[in-house]
């Protein structure tokens, strides 16, 4: 098992050598990887493609997939290409697509044609400014003095 994604990540099965792998007839998110430094860091993988499928057995694995030529070129040989799969528990196509986009934004895999940005833009949700009637939040611990009362206000009870 390998964890891919942000924070704790998603528990992917693998990595398994793609050559000789028989894909199951199941829905999953998948990541294609290779070892960029196999001699010095044999347990480190680089993600070069992410995708999702309703049926992995229909994806034309191992090497008839439309992007397989890119995987082999990046890895240096078809015997250096690995696959990791994640069958999303209770996840539908939209959930698999969301995970795929998240992974593409994090890893920026070279063999994916679509690019995703992992940052928010102000025009998507609007720029945040503090409401005029609120102050910054601060936690008090033992020995921390009480903050002064707001101008023209009653002392705060805390």
114-126 pLDDT tens trace: 766 655 555 555 5
Q: Report the greatest alpha carbon distance in the chain.
A: 76
Instruction: Say what the pLDDT of residue 73 is.
Output: 95
Instruction: Say what the pLDDT of residue 9 is.
Output: 85
Q: pTM to 2 decimals?
A: 0.72
Ranges 13-17, 92-96, 154-158: which has the least confidence: 154-158
């Amino acid at each position: 098992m390998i964890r891919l994604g942000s924070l704790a990540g998603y528990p992917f099965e693998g990595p398994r050598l793609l050559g000789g792998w028989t894909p199951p007839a199941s829905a999953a998110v998948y990541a294609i990887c290779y070892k960029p430094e196999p001699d010095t860091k044999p347990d480190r993988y680089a993600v070069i493609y992410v995708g999702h499928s309703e049926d992995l057995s229909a994806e034309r694995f191992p090497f008839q997939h439309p992007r397989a030529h890119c995987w082999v070129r990046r890895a240096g040989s078809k015997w250096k290409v690995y696959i990791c799969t994640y069958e999303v528990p209770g996840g539908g196509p939209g959930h698999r697509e969301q995970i795929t986009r998240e992974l593409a934004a994090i890893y920026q895999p070279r063999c994916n044609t679509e690019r995703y940005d992992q940052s928010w833009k102000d025009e998507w949700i609007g720029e945040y400014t503090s409401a005029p009637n609120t102050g910054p939040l601060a936690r008090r611990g033992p020995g921390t003095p009480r903050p002064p009362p707001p101008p023209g206000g009653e002392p705060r009870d805390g």
